[in-house]
Amino acid sequence: MAISCAAASVQAQGIAADSTQAVTLRLEAIAYENGEGVTRDPVLAASLYCKGARLGDAEAQYNLGWMYANGRGVARNDVTAAFFFHAAAEQGLAAAQRMLKVVGGPTTEVPDCMREPARPAAAGPIDGPGVDYQAVAPRKIFELVMKMAPQYQVEPQLALAIIAAESNFNSLALSPKNAQGLMQLIPETSQRFNVRNPFDPAQNIRGGLTYLRWLLAYFEGDVALVAAAYNAGEGKVERYRGVPPYLETRAYVQRILKAVGTQAHPFDAKVARASPSLPLIRLPLRAK
């Protein structure tokens, strides 16, 4: 789902935190790549670039792609280069899109440095008190969610967190990508779940809850993966074997996790078969 204009600003704090850390990593990587004030160390530079790339820094993704495309201090590898150029291109970096024409299209191979350590099935609470949406949500919307969410086997807190992040409770929200209403349903999703009027709060919530119920089954209750899929699409989660390396999506996922207060959510396995990528997402990294 695209984040609406009304909700985009609420992601700024999380994006800024990741961005600041990523910029620090990138500048350090540049110094080691070029020997600026330190002994040149391209292997360390690549490692630092990859840490920034995993945080969603498009420039670090591009720089690392360039190193692999040109064999600059690392073994030349067009497949790995394409991975990083594609990630940067998806975040709007035009130079990365141009480089994809040189090294080839996107790949399904995810470099080990871009994956989190072994990811078990989601379990347990996380730090943070959550959010009291009864105090901040419009009463009508809060009551609709409290009534409807259990019917779709979705915890109201998760649904409210998604609504807050997507539209800030504005039932008329419209994003530049034509995502509509409280839960920012794109037209394809509205059609998929038979939502005739996405600006009607009840219809929009019903469509969003139906999609959340499906995502919960598909990703076996992993709240981080569900949030990432709601923001960026389930295909991106599968391709990147986890939360996609986009600054916006990473901030979105952290916001949802903190609001919900847990990594795991009950799910009905009968709603959808589990994603075939889950075993790969949970696969431990190979020992180096």
Q: Is residue 244 assigned to a domain? A: yes
Does the pTM surpass 0.75? The reply is yes
What is the Cα 109 distance to its own chain's centre? Answer: 18
Q: Are 101 and 137 members of one domain?
A: no
| C-beta of residue 74 within 8 angstroms of C-beta of residue 68 | yes
Q: Are 218 and 257 members of one domain?
A: yes
Instruction: Write the CA distances from 55 to 22, 24, 274, integer angstroms.
Output: 6, 12, 27
Give the CATH number of the domain where residue 37 resides: 1.25.40.10
Domain edge (last residue) among 82, 114, 146: 114
Q: Is residue 3 assigned to a domain? A: no
Q: How many CA atoms lie within 13 A of 205 on its CB side?
A: 28
- In this predicted structure, the answer to whether residue 288 has a pLDDT above a threshold of 50 is no
Minimal CA–CA distance to 146: which of 126, 121, 129, 163?
163
Give the CATH number of the domain where residue 218 resides: 1.10.530.10
Quote the pLDDT of residue 117. 64
Structure tokens at 13: 């704090």
Distance CA 264, CA 254 (A): 14
Q: Are 20 and 109 members of one domain?
A: yes
Catalogue the active-site residues. Answer: 166
| C-beta of residue 121 within 8 angstroms of C-beta of residue 130 | no
Q: Are 225 and 153 members of one domain?
A: yes
Q: Which domain holds residue 216?
A: 133-281
Q: Are 212 and 252 members of one domain?
A: yes
Q: Which amino acid is at 87?
A: A
Quote the pLDDT of residue 4. 41
What's the total number of domains in the chain?
A: 2
pLDDT in tens, 232-265: 999 999 999 999 999 999 999 999 999 999 999 9
Q: Is residue 286 assigned to a domain? A: no
Q: Are 102 and 151 members of one domain?
A: no
Average pLDDT over residues 266-288: 85
- In this predicted structure, the answer to whether residue 119 has a pLDDT above a threshold of 70 is no
Q: Are 139 and 276 members of one domain?
A: yes
Q: Are 109 and 154 members of one domain?
A: no
Q: Is residue 127 assigned to a domain? A: no
Lowest mean pLDDT among 9-23, 163-177, 207-221: 9-23
Domain edge (last residue) among 114, 148, 175: 114
Q: Is residue 4 assigned to a domain? A: no
Q: Is residue 126 assigned to a domain? A: no
Minimal CA–CA distance to 141: which of 177, 179, 181?
181
- In this predicted structure, the answer to whether residue 9 has a pLDDT above a threshold of 60 is no
Structure tokens at 112: 């080990």
Distance CA 82, CA 78 (A): 6
Q: Is residue 6 assigned to a domain? A: no
Q: Are 43 and 148 members of one domain?
A: no
| C-beta of residue 29 within 8 angstroms of C-beta of residue 48 | yes
Distance CA 113, CA 47 (A): 8
Q: Are 54 and 156 members of one domain?
A: no
- Secondary structure tally for the chain: helices H, strands E: 15, 0
Q: Are 97 and 157 members of one domain?
A: no
Q: Are 60 and 146 members of one domain?
A: no
